[in-house]
Amino acid sequence: MYLKKGQVLFSSGQTDNVLYFILFGKLRLFTRPERLEQSYLQSSQEFHNQQRDLAPFGDEMNIGWTVGEEILFEGNKAPQTAQNVRRMQLAMQGSKEPRTNSCKSVVDSCVLGLFVSNLLALKNQLEEIGRLDDFNQIDLVLRGNYLVKQKWREQLHEPSYLTNRSSQAFD
């Protein structure tokens, strides 16, 4: 899927079951301002003037990153492969959880979208031919990216993060 600069890939509250691999370009995660500290909202006049519904967090992500993988891990303190497979199976049965963040293209970009059901089918096919290690590599990337972004989410509520980000949040 090709994205123009500024195009939204997914929004907070959506209940799709797709995760994305960034092929080229740059993407950025955003969250609703009510999730941020009130002091940050009051200190950012530019926020009030230009961006009333979304605020960026974390770093820009480019080739090799994934976005949307939280649909596999949300609610798990320490994600593990067995839990991931169960969540994939639930997703295939129509159990969809709403996304907690939005994602937007910073520059013209391209992503490869993969339905959770297709990820589970890939896992099953690789297991049948004795190549489960290949799936474990994919799982490792997804878990690693999720854990990095989980740390970004935790930093959202730290005063030092809010102060440092307020001046660069809306470039």
- 68 Cβ contact list (under 8 Å, min separation 6): 9, 10, 18, 19, 20, 99, 103
Mean pLDDT (the chain, rounded): 77
Kindly report which listed range (46-50, 86-90, 149-153) carries the lowest average pLDDT score: 46-50
pLDDT band at 15 (very low <50, low <70, confident <90, very high): confident
**Residue 125 confidence (pLDDT):** 95
Please give the average per-residue pLDDT across 95-99, as a whole number: 71
Give me the percent of the chain exceeding a pLDDT of 90. Answer: 44
Q: What angle do CA 21, 23, 24 make, to 5 degrees?
A: 130
Are the beta carbons of 122 and 2 closer than 8 angstroms? no
Predicted local confidence at residue 158, as pLDDT: 65
DSSP state of 99: P
pLDDT at 17 over 70: yes
Rounded mean pLDDT, 127-155: 92
Lowest mean pLDDT, pick from 4-8, 75-79, 120-124, 140-144: 75-79
pTM, rounded to two decimals: 0.73
pLDDT at position 68 over 50 = yes
Question: What is the arithmetic mean of pLDDT over 119-141?
Answer: 93
Helices assigned H by DSSP within the chain = 38-43, 45-50, 70-73, 81-92, 116-128, 132-155, 159-166
**Residue 114 pLDDT level (bands cut at 50, 70, 90):** very high
Instruction: Tell me the CA distances in angstroms from 160 to 9, 18, 58, 128, one per residue in order.
Output: 29, 33, 14, 49
Closest CA to 16 of 35, 33, 34, 1: 1
Average pLDDT for residues 68-76, to the nearest whole number?
A: 75
pLDDT of residue 76: 44
Give residue 7's pLDDT: 95
Q: What is the pLDDT of residue 44?
A: 45
User: Which CATH number applies to 2-164: 3.30.70.270, 1.10.10.2840, 2.60.120.10, 3.40.50.740?
Assistant: 2.60.120.10
| Beta bridge pairs of residue 102 | 30
Phi/psi of residue 75, each to 5°?
A: 95, -10
Alpha-carbon distance of 19 to 130, in angstroms, equals 25
- Tokens for 42? 């009051």
